Structure 1
Amino acid sequence: MKGPILFLGIGGSGMSSLAHMALDLEIPVIGYDKKSSEATEFLQERGSTIYHSIETIPLDGMQMVVYSSAINDKHKDVFDTIKGLGIPLKHRSEFMHLLVSKQKSISVAGSHGKTSTTTMVSQILTEKGFDPTIMIGGDTSLLQKRGGKIGSGNFAVYESDESDGTFLGHKAEYRLLTNIDNDHLDYYKTRERLEDAFFEYMGFQSAGETILFCGDPGIKAVLQSKHKDLAFHKGFHISLLVTEDIVKEEWFQNLQNHWANQITTILYKLGKDELTFQLGNETYRLTLPYPGVHYLTNGLVALTCAFRIGISPNDSIAILSRYIGVKRRQEILGQWKAVTVVDDYGHHPTEIKMVIQSLKDKHATKGKLHVLFQPHRFTRTKLLLEDLANSLLGADFLYLLPIYSAGETPIPGITSMSFLPFLEANPPKMLSGELTADLEILKQNLKPGDLLLCLGAGNVRDWGVSLLSEPEAR
């Protein structure tokens, strides 16, 4: 047996998924993460060795070192040592490609909805007996407490993360794109560079299938501005998910006329709790067990991919009607004194607005919506401050936690207090970040029938879990 693989930042959602995939292949796994978590504890249960001090890791006999973008210049000395020993050093995206190189790849990209859409595609393929390899950046009951597994089938389904540009190395046979929005501008610097990266991901000059949700303003804007320059590879096919309004637009008609033999157009219409779409001469109706139009559009992208593979829309619709969901996506944690506690990973203005609106619609006749928001990263807060504040205005009651740094160095003048000038219409309660004191404030304001939404990509979930450990929780 070859030596172990070392995963630096193994507690991250993507890295832990890859580590589980390595374990499936019976490769010994050693991991580093600065703190213990449910993810690292489960990896230990499966036989991994986890270190919390990077300097103490034995490197002798290591087969490979895999790192994430979260491992930064602070660890330059360790990287230099690894290189000096001649140990191969791979970014997580490179390692994933090694794992799936013998299968047909289905790549899912987008500013939002990657995890949900990847899970939907994976659930359809799994229930249809394809046994795919799966890499999801989140926990789902489909995989029982982990986000990655090696399958014996012909397909591999994975998320393509645009945050550091490495998703452009994902040369998949099937490329899915849900939306384009202003995020990770700390990396791309400008909206134009972000759009150029997504345009390159679409792969018009490559063989394979691309599925684009053109109802998204970001995707539509890119196609509209670049359609005159498009030239399709002869082995390329594209599915465009569009509304009647888009079909009537000149740029779209020109695109269709030019490349009719390589385009499948799927016309859809959104209702409050359902999505209807036309495929060929048939009309279909999609519903899901989770509220929110974003889940419906993600579902349309997923079932279009399944259709192109050869799975009937009716079969996919039946499977998605029992969509299992993903941990930290409108996840109901429990109840405290008839207050429903929900946890959600949303941390970008678009995501925040969608989840607040979805839960308000669902909860409208019951009680008030209390939103406990934890801003994520100083850079994102600085770049999107006003948009973040505006996205929170739908809350009946708003509470702000200190910014979750995610390892970033604080930016002078950027704190949770920076939100206040934009929230005068709905002044928030400022919390300290100290659990016991914060819970007392929450308990004083919550009433039976209310809903508490713990919102953010950091550890805001801990406040909901702690509330549920209080007396009279169930």
Structure 2
Amino acid sequence: MKGPILFLGIGGSGMSSLAHMAIDLQIPVVGYDKKKSDITDYLVERGVKLYHSIGEIPLDGIQMVVYSSAINDKHKDVFNRIQNLNIPLKHRSEFMHLLVSNQKSISVAGSHGKTSTTTMVSQILTEVGLDPTIMIGGDTSLLQKRGGKMGKGDYAVYESDESDGTFLRHKANIRLLTNIDNDHLDYYRTRERLEEAFLDYMGFGSPGEVVLFVGDPGIKSVLEIHYRNLTFHNELHLNLLVTKSHTNEEWFSYFLSQFQKQITVVLYEVKENQLYFQLENQSYTLELPYPGVHYLTNGLVALTCAYRIGISPSQSSQILSRYIGVKRRQEILGVWNEVTVIDDYGHHPTEIKMVIQSLKDKIKNKGKLHVIFQPHRYTRTKLLLEDLAKSLLGADFVFLLPIYSAGENPMEGITSNRFLPYLTGSQTTMLDGNIREDLEQIKSHLNKGDLLLCLGAGNVRDWGMELVS
């Protein structure tokens, strides 16, 4: 490609990852994002010409424009300019598939755990010397401040985002699915449509490998509903990760009887921060440096994928015992007056419950768990209000920030105050969004040995960073 590629919304985690991959291929990159950030600063360091006003971008010589779903109707003028100049316009999912078209692709999907599981698969493949191409929707030290890189090996590992339905445009050679939960219903409208999209992603009528964590109720439910109508491609191999209790299910018996030669079964159980699993009549143990059952089950999905491409479970388990993690996933920001301050991206009820429970298990009776929670998006808050509020009940103290809009317009009657009726009986304080004034309130509740968790997908991390600085 002779001229530069223009990335609209280049500061987003997925878009920045793709931009880094283009830079690895020595393709010139121009970017637009209305906000300056550490992400955009690093892109500039790597040679990106960055614009913060979309009207200032010169389109002469641009060979292709890549956009994300964050670029919407508010940007009609620039889309019209691009189309009038006959410049190819690609959604980020289309561009990613162009990048990995010459490699064997491994996609990771699910309502939760995509980033962690993609990082785990990537770490395994990297440490055994396979040099994969990697696209992760988060910041991990595996890739040194960026979420994407082009590798020279046979495999490409990428996170497959279901938020706007574009994850169905490409059927990867190996498709991993961690779970199905009620998220992005602003796009799908109903649970049924969401489940249909994930069923399509599994691609039973397509060749390749599918790894399903059936310990998840959402995946199990979809299999129960649809199993007699599924058509297996004769080149598809299904990997079912199940507990012993699932082996008595009618759908499980049906799969085994109908598709014996196309199925690998992984039996597992979790006890005290360790996962025990059985594969091909061999027993193994998985233990990770991060607390929480969800990390262990994500690890099981990752090592099952690795097993199916020839990496032994014992080797994968050893690599994951030093799993490096992802920024904003139980990330320790520092310590203030012997209070550990942690940041986590969790913004859906299931994620919130998981991280609160894992940290409560970690702290046990040594101190209290204080949570600064920042609701993310008005649409999500409206749809999941009661579940979001109740997911916070495991914390000892809850500090509620105003809703982080993520570019959405405010919705009448949807504010953080709406959480209060569901939090009766718990110690809850409303914050006004002024970091220094908020922290004066928060500090008065903190004692030696406590944990302070900054929770949400917006900028709640800033409160923790200010405290530890």
TM-score by length of 2: 0.99
Name the residue aligned to 2:71.
71
- 2:57 and 2:230 mapped to 1: Cα distance? 50
Name the residue aligned to 1:456.
456
- 2:427 and 2:386 mapped to 1: Cα distance? 14
Alignment deviations for residues 197-222 of structure 1 (CA, whole Å, 9 cap, x no partner): 00000010000000000000000000
Indicate whether 1:182 and 2:153 are aligned. no
Alignment deviations for residues 227-262 of structure 1 (CA, whole Å, 9 cap, x no partner): 010110111110000011110112211121111111
1:92-103 equivalent positions in 2, closer than 5 A: 92-103=92-103
Name the residue aligned to 1:436.
436
Verify the 8 A CA contact 1:178 1:212 in the aligned structure 2. Answer: yes
SS at match of 1:137: coil
Verify the 8 A CA contact 1:420 1:427 in the aligned structure 2. Answer: no
Verify the 8 A CA contact 2:344 2:454 in the aligned structure 1. Answer: yes
Name the residue aligned to 2:371.
371
- 1:350 and 1:327 mapped to 2: Cα distance? 19
Alignment deviations for residues 58-95 of structure 1 (CA, whole Å, 9 cap, x no partner): 11000111000011100011101111111110000000
Name the residue aligned to 1:122.
122
Name the residue aligned to 1:55.
55
Indicate whether 1:410 and 2:410 are aligned. yes
Name the residue aligned to 1:305.
305
Amino acid at match of 2:246: I
- 2:88 and 2:75 mapped to 1: Cα distance? 16
SS at match of 1:138: coil
SS at match of 2:122: helix
SS at match of 2:395: coil
Name the residue aligned to 1:472.
none
Name the residue aligned to 2:112.
112
SS at match of 1:197: helix
SS at match of 2:105: strand
Name the residue aligned to 1:89.
89
Amino acid at match of 1:212: L
Name the residue aligned to 1:350.
350
- 2:427 and 2:416 mapped to 1: Cα distance? 12
Amino acid at match of 1:166: T
Amino acid at match of 2:412: P
- 2:303 and 2:451 mapped to 1: Cα distance? 32
- Listed as ranges, the gaps of 5+ residues in structure 1 are 470-474
Amino acid at match of 2:313: P
- The share of aligned pairs that are identical, in percent, is 74
TM-score by length of 1: 0.98
Verify the 8 A CA contact 2:396 2:427 in the aligned structure 1. Answer: no
Indicate whether 1:385 and 2:376 are aligned. no
Verify the 8 A CA contact 2:381 2:388 in the aligned structure 1. Answer: yes
- 2:402 and 2:447 mapped to 1: Cα distance? 24
Q: CA deviation at 1:272?
A: 2.1
- 1:309 and 1:254 mapped to 2: Cα distance? 26
Verify the 8 A CA contact 1:402 1:433 in the aligned structure 2. Answer: yes
Amino acid at match of 1:16: S
Q: CA deviation at 1:325?
A: 0.2
- 2:153 and 2:446 mapped to 1: Cα distance? 49
Indicate whether 1:240 and 2:240 are aligned. yes
- Listed as ranges, the gaps of 5+ residues in structure 2 are none
Name the residue aligned to 1:6.
6
Q: CA deviation at 1:454?
A: 0.2
- 1:283 and 1:79 mapped to 2: Cα distance? 56
Alignment deviations for residues 1-47 of structure 1 (CA, whole Å, 9 cap, x no partner): 61111111111000000000010011111111111000000000111
How many residue pairs were aligned?
Answer: 469
1:258-269 equivalent positions in 2, closer than 5 A: 258-269=258-269
Q: CA deviation at 1:447?
A: 1.2
Q: CA deviation at 1:170?
A: 2.4
Indicate whether 1:257 and 2:280 are aligned. no
Amino acid at match of 2:188: Y
Q: C-alpha root-mean-square deviation of aligned residues, in Å?
A: 0.7
Alignment deviations for residues 370-396 of structure 1 (CA, whole Å, 9 cap, x no partner): 000000000000000000001000000
Name the residue aligned to 1:212.
212
- 1:268 and 1:434 mapped to 2: Cα distance? 47
Alignment deviations for residues 110-168 of structure 1 (CA, whole Å, 9 cap, x no partner): 00000000000000000000000000000000000000000000000000000000000
Alignment deviations for residues 263-317 of structure 1 (CA, whole Å, 9 cap, x no partner): 1111111112111111112110100000000000000000000000000001000
Q: CA deviation at 1:427?
A: 4.2
SS at match of 2:2: coil
Amino acid at match of 1:468: V
Verify the 8 A CA contact 1:107 1:170 in the aligned structure 2. Answer: no
Verify the 8 A CA contact 1:403 1:415 in the aligned structure 2. Answer: yes
- 1:441 and 1:45 mapped to 2: Cα distance? 39
Verify the 8 A CA contact 1:272 1:293 in the aligned structure 2. Answer: no
- 2:365 and 2:118 mapped to 1: Cα distance? 33
Q: CA deviation at 1:421?
A: 1.0
SS at match of 1:146: coil
Name the residue aligned to 2:394.
394
Amino acid at match of 2:327: K
